[in-house]
């Protein structure tokens, strides 16, 4: 397994998104997936305090057990857990960190990420609280999610020589290339930041399981999704591009899953592809999907999805 750097950290290029833990997966199923990930060489686990109604962190910490020192844990704060637990106020940042540390059963978080911007709080105040956590050894690196280019620049200017965001986590995939258009990917290059794509497989559309004109397979994320959400992913535009990608996968003999993972990793700023998994065999498939793509293949993928 190759690794790429996040500040002082070295993360596997395939990570595990832990949003299924405590939601689709119970504690026993979580253990199986975590074990499979570690066995496959994954050392980067990405969760959040809101995942699984706060159970994701709890289940992940228990599943890691004595292996905690061998892996990197990334978690997030800021999205509403309830009416009182949300946002980026300094006092809440400190409390949210303590709560996550307790649930994870650890004394530090490797990558602590602001889950969403909070327009009611100056970013300098949030960064000040994060700096305290870094100085106390409770957090090693800090990151953010769902920020714009202007917000990234504001945060860098407000860091005042203290810790700065080492990563940003925004949606990015062959079907959602907005970070190229909105300038976030280019800004990562300018600021020497890593990019962590969420929905890298477009909620299953890029796994090869979903094929245009065929029923959505039972048990998949799209099949379990509320209709008002699934209709976005099953739009005519997305379905047409999936069809074109599947045809190209057949033409080249490269599975669409491999194209999806490897195209993302062909971007030097993409640090790790953190796909979720609900079964151990999905871990094996994800890890096996990384390969070097020729410039010609990358060019064709860009043509099919731009």
248 lies in some domain: no
Q: Of the ranges 95-104, 136-145, 204-213, 278-287, which one carries the lowest mean pLDDT score?
A: 204-213
209 lies in some domain: no
Q: Of the ranges 59-63, 82-86, 152-156, 231-235, which one carries the lowest mean pLDDT score?
A: 231-235
298 lies in some domain: no
Find where tokens 């970070």 sit. 179
22 lies in some domain: yes
Inform me whether the pLDDT recorded for 215 exceeds 90.
no
Half-sphere exposure of 30 (CA within 13 A, CB side): 26
213 lies in some domain: no
Residues 151/240, Cβ–Cβ less than 8 Å: no
Which whole number is the average pLDDT over 162-178?
97
pLDDT at 233: 80
Task: Catalogue the long-range contacts made by 203-210 (C-beta closer than 8 Å, 24 or more residues apart).
Answer: 203/233, 205/175, 205/233, 205/238, 205/242, 206/173, 206/174, 206/175, 206/242, 206/245, 206/256, 206/257, 206/259, 206/260, 207/256, 207/257, 207/260, 208/246, 208/249, 208/255, 208/256, 208/257, 210/242
pLDDT at 288: 97
Helices 55-64 and 27-39: crossing angle, nearest 10°?
50
Residues 113/169, Cβ–Cβ less than 8 Å: yes
51 is catalytic: yes
The alpha carbon torsion through 89, 90, 95, 97 (nearest 10 deg) reads 100
Q: Which helix (H) or strand (E) holds 145?
A: strand 139-145
- Tell me the three state secondary structure of residue 128: helix
Distance in angstroms (rounded) separating the CA atoms of residues 288 and 285: 5
CATH (domain of 144): 3.20.20.100
pLDDT class of 51 with cuts at 50, 70, 90 = very high
pLDDT at 14: 98
Q: Of the ranges 50-64, 125-139, 225-239, 274-288, which one carries the lowest mean pLDDT score?
A: 225-239
**Ramachandran class of 78: left when φ > 0, alpha when ψ lies in -120 to 50, beta otherwise:** left
Inform me whether the pLDDT recorded for 226 exceeds 80.
no
pLDDT class of 161 with cuts at 50, 70, 90 = confident
Task: Give the count of beta carbons closer than 10 Å to the beta carbon of residue 110.
Answer: 21
pLDDT at 27: 98
Give the number of domains in the chain. 1
148 lies in some domain: yes
The tokens of 81 are what? Answer: 């857990």
pTM value?
Answer: 0.95
Distance in angstroms (rounded) separating the CA atoms of residues 181 and 127: 27
Task: Give the count of beta carbons closer than 10 Å to the beta carbon of residue 181.
Answer: 9
- Tell me the three state secondary structure of residue 78: coil
Half-sphere exposure of 89 (CA within 13 A, CB side): 8
* Residue-number span of the structural domain to which 11 is assigned: 3-203+263-293
pLDDT at 225: 77
Contacts of 198 (CB under 8 A, 6+ apart): 17, 145, 169, 170, 171, 172, 274
pLDDT class of 26 with cuts at 50, 70, 90 = very high
Beta strand pairing call for 72-77 and 109-114: parallel
254 lies in some domain: no
228 lies in some domain: no
pLDDT at 10: 98
Catalytic residue among 51, 92, 112, 199: 51
């Amino acid at each position: 397994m190759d690794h790429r750097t996040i500040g002082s950290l070295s993360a596997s290029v395939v990570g595990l998104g832990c949003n299924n833990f405590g939601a689709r997966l119970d504690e026993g199923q979580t253990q199986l997936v975590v074990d499979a990930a570690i066995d496959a060489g994954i050392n980067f686990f990405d969760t959040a305090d809101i995942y699984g109604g706060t159970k994701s962190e709890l289940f992940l910490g228990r599943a890691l057990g004595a292996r905690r020192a061998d892996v990197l844990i990334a978690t997030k704060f800021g999205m509403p857990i309830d009416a009182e637990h949300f946002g980026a106020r300094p006092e809440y940042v400190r409390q949210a960190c303590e709560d996550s540390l307790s649930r994870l059963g650890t004394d530090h978080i490797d990558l602590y990420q602001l889950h969403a911007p909070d327009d009611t709080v100056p970013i300098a105040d949030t960064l000040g609280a994060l700096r305290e956590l870094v100085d106390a050894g409770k957090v090693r690196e800090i990151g953010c999610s769902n920020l714009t280019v202007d917000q990234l620049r504001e945060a860098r200017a407000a860091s005042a020589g203290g810790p700065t965001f080492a990563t940003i986590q925004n949606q990015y995939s062959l079907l959602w290339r907005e970070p190229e258009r909105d300038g976030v990917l280019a800004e990562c290059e300018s600021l020497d930041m890593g990019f962590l794509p969420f929905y890298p497989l477009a909620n299953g559309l890029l796994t090869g399981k979903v094929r245009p004109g065929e029923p959505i397979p039972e048990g998949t994320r799209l099949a379990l999704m509320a209709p008002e959400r699934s209709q976005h992913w099953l739009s005519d535009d997305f379905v047409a591009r999936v069809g074109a990608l599947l045809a190209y996968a057949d033409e080249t003999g490269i599975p669409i899953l491999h194209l999806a993972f490897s195209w993302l990793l062909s971007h030097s700023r993409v640090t790790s592809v953190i796909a979720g998994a609900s079964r151990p065999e999905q871990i094996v498939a994800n890890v096996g999907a990384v390969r070097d793509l020729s410039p010609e293949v990358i060019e064709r993928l860009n043509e099919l999805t731009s």
